[in-house]
Structure 1
């Protein structure tokens, strides 16, 4: 099978590539800079940018599947003057340009890695997001992904190309960065942490292993056609239980101080960090029953296994850094 992969060097792409190579596939990777260590294993095609004007003909012609992982990712405190325009150029117009050319060139299936932000930023406890929820996000990143999904549905209706949309929750795993990595680093110090009272919320996470397994499943599953699929580990955790699981995976004490929730709200207002506080205290749950029932799929990795794998990689990398310093 001829598969085009975008975002090969990204967090998800790096985890996905070995699974694709284990199959009888020919991989064409769209990259900005060539990776010489992969010479002979895959075909690499240099592209300028993922935007509305990119020509994909030489990469996509003759391909069966496009897996589109590349995106302008959500970042805190974005410094560009108009974040929505920047997100749209890559995530909306760039995606739809690639998809339309893929459809015109006879690609059979287009798998789009979207985001749970299309559903929203938070849920009420016990009322998880579902794939058919109606919501138009205001966050620039979420809106750009939503608009891409709308355009992909239109392309699917007007052409013979099948579309599969996957909306992951927060993705973690070996090499994870951003907030998850920061919390992991904090927990690794073994100090008492102020999360003892944050046990009443619930958050859905997904290990990159589980996400990759779903993507692989969607490559040729007949019932994945034109579906919107939510994905998680299917085991929601509170902030306190997440920290406890991290501590266990790192081999550290899980002592947590019972700081009252109102203290977080006050601190958030004082330091203008209300978004951070909302993520610590709030819930974001997804219902993946549609994904499981439609595909006959279940996450192969437990959250305990995912945290252990992530923690082991974190400790190994930390050891390498220490060795290089010494």
Structure 2
């Protein structure tokens, strides 16, 4: 493997690890995995220690041409930090800036930042998708920290000449997905009745394989420089449609009760779960047409195939 070295931070995470494996498969670039803990990537590529909260050694970036920054303090449902915004800023802004400045000093040519659609906001009006050119409107501390990191990176690019590319994914799913998506698969697999049979929203999702394909495209595409890209599978689904398709991928029939979304929102509000109801009933769409046009990129994996991949991985794990 002799291609340019590409450092991937957060290489033990859901997205970061997938990016490293994609680079190993393509053999066009030489991945370097920057991790905080032990990883199964040891022996497959160079592995270097990395922590968002710690100073960065010079050797980590030696010979690196491109950085793909996936590591982050991620959005969590039950925040425990006394000052969550400060905690997110420490990791996602200060840690990112420290890494970017060291990268620029080390001669890194391009810095690809995995941000979040939360920079745009939390929801859209149906059929009025977010655009990369929209004025950012983050709501929660995670989204705010990602927006501030984006702005800092663009300033560093102006000061140093290091190229910066920003990618804002919505919900990412695929083999090994966790959190709410995994919970939904378990509910469907067990035949749990869900009051989600009459949800008429529209949400953009992105398969892990589609996101990693876009990330790799941005490594050396000259049109990517200085751009912010939104990404999805190119097909928006309602929560009801997603559950039916997910159940089909699992070989199950979704048991969905046709409860009106308005009633779900009211009930959720009464028990302090308005945020959950919004994610299930609200719309969040993204416009990827500029991504397609600027990069000549198309999502290579269909929603059906991606759901089958996620279901197969789930089956393999659950039956072990």
TM-score by length of 1: 0.94
2:218 counterpart residue number? 218
Give the stretch that moved more between structures: 167-176 or 252-261: 252-261
Q: Per-residue displacement from partner, 1:270-311 (whole Å, max 9, x unpaired)?
A: 211011011111000000001000000000001111111101
Secondary structure at the aligned position of 2:229 is classed as strand
1:129 Cα offset (Å): 0.3
* Structure-1 separation of matches of 2:227 and 2:262: 41
Q: How does 1:91-170 map to 2 (within 5 A)?
A: 91-170=92-171
Which residue, out of 17, 30, 36, partners 1:32?
36
1:41 counterpart residue number? 44
Which residue, out of 5, 14, 17, partners 2:17?
14
1:87 and 2:91 aligned = no
* Structure-2 separation of matches of 1:78 and 1:226: 33
* Structure-1 separation of matches of 2:218 and 2:269: 44
1:158 Cα offset (Å): 1.5
Q: How does 1:246-261 map to 2 (within 5 A)?
A: 246-261=246-261
Which structure 2 residue ranges, 5 or more long, are not aligned?
Answer: none
2:52 counterpart residue number? 50
* Structure-2 separation of matches of 1:264 and 1:7: 37
CA contact (8 A) 2:122 2:139 kept: no
CA contact (8 A) 1:137 1:143 kept: yes
Runs ≥4 in structure 1, deviation > 6 angstroms?
Answer: none
1:263 Cα offset (Å): 2.2
1:323 counterpart residue number? none
Secondary structure at the aligned position of 1:64 is classed as strand
Which structure 1 residue ranges, 5 or more long, are not aligned?
Answer: 321-326
* Structure-1 separation of matches of 2:224 and 2:118: 21
Give the count of matched residue pairs.
Answer: 316
1:192 Cα offset (Å): 3.5
1:186 and 2:190 aligned = no
Q: Per-residue displacement from partner, 1:187-231 (whole Å, max 9, x unpaired)?
A: 111244221111x21000001000000011111111111110000
* Structure-2 separation of matches of 1:156 and 1:34: 32
CA contact (8 A) 2:119 2:144 kept: yes
1:87 Cα offset (Å): 0.6
CA contact (8 A) 1:34 1:44 kept: no
Q: CA RMSD in A?
A: 1.3
* Structure-2 separation of matches of 1:28 and 1:262: 49
CA contact (8 A) 2:171 2:206 kept: yes
Give the stretch that moved more between structures: 260-269 or 278-287: 260-269
* Structure-1 separation of matches of 2:308 and 2:253: 15
* Structure-1 separation of matches of 2:138 and 2:66: 29
CA contact (8 A) 1:65 1:110 kept: yes
Give the stretch that moved more between structures: 53-62 or 114-123: 53-62
Q: Per-residue displacement from partner, 1:29-81 (whole Å, max 9, x unpaired)?
A: 2222343x44442111123x213x51241111321000101000000120110
2:281 counterpart residue number? 281
CA contact (8 A) 1:34 1:46 kept: no
Give the stretch that moved more between structures: 230-239 or 186-195: 186-195
